[in-house]
Amino acid sequence: MLANGYHDIENGKVAMVVTHLQMLAPAETRQVPDLPGVSFRHVTPDLDWFRDIFTRVGALDWLWFGRLRMSDAELSAIIHDPKVTHYTLSKDGRDEALLELDFRREGECELAYFGVTPAMIGSGAGRYLMNQAIRLAWEQPIERFHVHTCTLDSPQALPFYIRSGFTPYRRQIEIDDDPRLNGLLPQSAAPHVPLIRR
């Protein structure tokens, strides 16, 4: 257990506060504006599709990187598992959202990845996508729907999850190698996170 006070993080690392949230019964969905020209669809992803949408939704702005450092075999084992499902929002023939629901633990669904690209931010697309996530998760025989977010994500993420009906129940500190220093992501990614070199 960490003592109270400041704790040094080694240069070349990133540290984040992770908040875990859960929903133990279906939350009421919230109204969304019309989204003309936007369609919601189920996706059977290949590796290129997944890496592209993962990068555009989360890696460049919010420093998502866990899935980018996986080998083809590791990533394929997750995204092609029949208990992991993917959805997107398409506009003008281009996919602009990522929703991954993970049912691999019996009686549970993890909102594993959720987000929209900058092209959809502010349009109501995130609320629409969350309404779909809640519906799809609770259509299955689950007792718990859960998600986690961290301080590298959009500052809107945590309050959005709470407004959506998730309740915070656990907090952790995560430390990892900064993916901008090993070439996994460009050094211009996530400019809100200072780059501190080794």
| pLDDT tens profile 146-187 | 999 999 999 999 999 999 999 999 999 999 999 999 999 999
Whole-angstrom CA distances from 66 to 24, 59, 70, 97, 185 are 27, 9, 7, 18, 11
Task: Note the pLDDT tens digit of each residue in 62-112.
Answer: 999 999 999 999 999 999 999 999 999 999 999 999 999 999 999 999 999
With respect to residue 18, please indicate whether it lies within any of the assigned structural domains.
yes
CATH label of the domain that carries residue 152? 3.40.630.30
Residue 61 pLDDT > 90, yes or no? yes
The predicted pLDDT at position 43 comes to 98
The predicted pLDDT at position 33 comes to 82
| Residue among 92, 99, 119 nearest 38 (CA) | 92
The domain of 71 spans 13-25+38-177
- 37 in helix, strand or coil? coil
With respect to residue 5, please indicate whether it lies within any of the assigned structural domains.
no
With respect to residue 114, please indicate whether it lies within any of the assigned structural domains.
yes
Residue 198 pLDDT > 90, yes or no? no
Domain count, the chain: 1
With respect to residue 6, please indicate whether it lies within any of the assigned structural domains.
no
The predicted pLDDT at position 197 comes to 86
Side chain identity, residue 68: L
With respect to residue 50, please indicate whether it lies within any of the assigned structural domains.
yes
- 135 in helix, strand or coil? helix
Task: Note the pLDDT tens digit of each residue in 112-131.
Answer: 999 999 999 999 999 999 99
With respect to residue 32, please indicate whether it lies within any of the assigned structural domains.
no
β-bridge mates for residue 173, sequence order: 17
With respect to residue 94, please indicate whether it lies within any of the assigned structural domains.
yes
Report the alpha-carbon distance of residue 137 to residue 134 in Å, rounded. 5
Tokens representing 37?
């020209």
Tokens representing 114?
């959720």
pTM of this prediction? 0.95
Residue 22 pLDDT > 90, yes or no? yes
